[in-house]
Amino acid sequence: MIPINHPRRESLLIRERLVDGVKEGYVALQGLMAHGRGECFDYLIGEVTIDEALNAERAAVAALLLARNPVISVNGNTAALVPRDIVELAELVNAKVEVNLFYRTREREELIARVLRENGAKEVLGVGDDASCVIPELFSERRRVSCRGIYVADVVLVPLEDGDRTEALRRMGKTVIAIDLNPLSRTARAASITIVDNVVRAIPNMVKMARELRAKPREELEEIVRGFNNDENLRRVLMHISRRLMELAQRGVLLEFPKDSKTA
Ligand code: ATP
Ligand code: MG
């Protein structure tokens, strides 16, 4: 039980969801390490959605709405953290949902598909024999994708994707949208649109944006995508972090305590 007044309750509850996912067998142990890495960068960013993230999220939603064949890729962490919002986003932008695992086992594929179906997904690709196409240049189980999904997609949203696979998808000519709190990861640097935000904030934001943007004319969506520059946006993210750390370094970060508790 996490105390109701614990100052980091929200963050601890999120960790519990991943731990539950491990116990239920669909979050990989490595997913816990990936999450810890994400938390570290979230501290540096300030645990909020910064303007640069909002810009990328908006461009991403516009790109998904414009796509002929959009696919949202789902791994264990994403299924544990934002299953309902993923399904809702997929419906709003008319995207397919595909289970896409770095550590692929039949059991985890099926468990994740079940989580998604319990959250309203009608069809889930990438399970069992459905994942029979391969991403060129990759090896092992992680190259397998659905022939009806990621393999033929023009735009792929990959929350928490591995860098190597992001690069391979780009080489296949796809528009790759990544959500990654680490602006320096290979994933962040290889994606076409990089959203530096926590998936627990990014996906709900994108659901709201999709509700608004789906009513807009194509030209307006094209304008949003054209106006987005990933290189510039990522550099602004780094500037945000640098500026924030400089300000904190100047102001100080110590928590305050009553004078009498001081030992010095
Ligand atoms: P890369 O292979 O891209 O260079 P990596 O090996 O560190 O980076 P992976 O393990 O492949 O990364 O993927 C995990 C990534 O997901 C990390 O960069 C981490 O910052 C990010 N991440 C983890 N949890 C979240 C989250 N909740 N929201 C957004 N990003 C997250
Ligand atoms: Mg990696």
Q: Does 111 map to a domain?
A: yes
pLDDT confidence of residue 263: 62
Q: Does 21 map to a domain?
A: no
Higher pLDDT, 162 or 224: 224
pLDDT confidence of residue 177: 98
Average pLDDT over all residues of the chain? 95
pLDDT confidence of residue 221: 98
249 token code pair? 């370094």
What average pLDDT score do residues 157-179 get?
95
**For the chain, how many structural domains are there in total?**
1
pLDDT confidence of residue 264: 57
pLDDT confidence of residue 260: 65
pLDDT confidence of residue 140: 77
29 band by pLDDT with thresholds 50, 70 and 90:
very high
181 in contact with ligand 1, CB cutoff 6 A = yes
Q: What is the pLDDT of residues 58-117, one digit of tens each?
A: 999 999 999 999 999 999 999 999 999 999 999 999 999 999 998 889 999 999 999 999
35 in contact with ligand 1, CB cutoff 6 A = yes
Q: Does 28 map to a domain?
A: no
Is residue 171 within 8 A of residue 89, CB to CB? The reply is no
Return the residue matching tokens 């890729």: 73
78 in contact with ligand 1, CB cutoff 6 A = no
Q: Does 19 map to a domain?
A: no
Q: Does 35 map to a domain?
A: no
Q: Does 193 map to a domain?
A: yes
Q: Does 245 map to a domain?
A: no
The number of angstroms, rounded, from the C-alpha of 89 to the middle of its chain's C-alpha atoms is 13
Q: Indicate which residue's Cα is closest to atom 10 of ligand 1.
A: 34
Residue 8 alpha carbon to ligand 1 centre in Å = 21
pLDDT confidence of residue 137: 80
**How far apart (Å, rounded) are the C-alpha atoms in residues 247 and 264?**
27
Q: Does 85 map to a domain?
A: yes
What average pLDDT score do residues 146-154 get?
97
Phi, psi of 177 (to 5 degrees): -105, 120
Q: Which structural domain, as residue segments, surrounds residue 118?
A: 51-238
CA distances from 23 to 19, 105, 113, 127, 160 (A): 6, 15, 16, 21, 20
Atom of ligand 1 nearest to the CA of 102: 11
* Cβ burial 218-239 (10 Å sphere, 16+ → b, else e): eeebeebbeebebeebbebbee
CATH number at 168 reads 3.40.50.12640
pLDDT confidence of residue 103: 82
pLDDT confidence of residue 24: 97
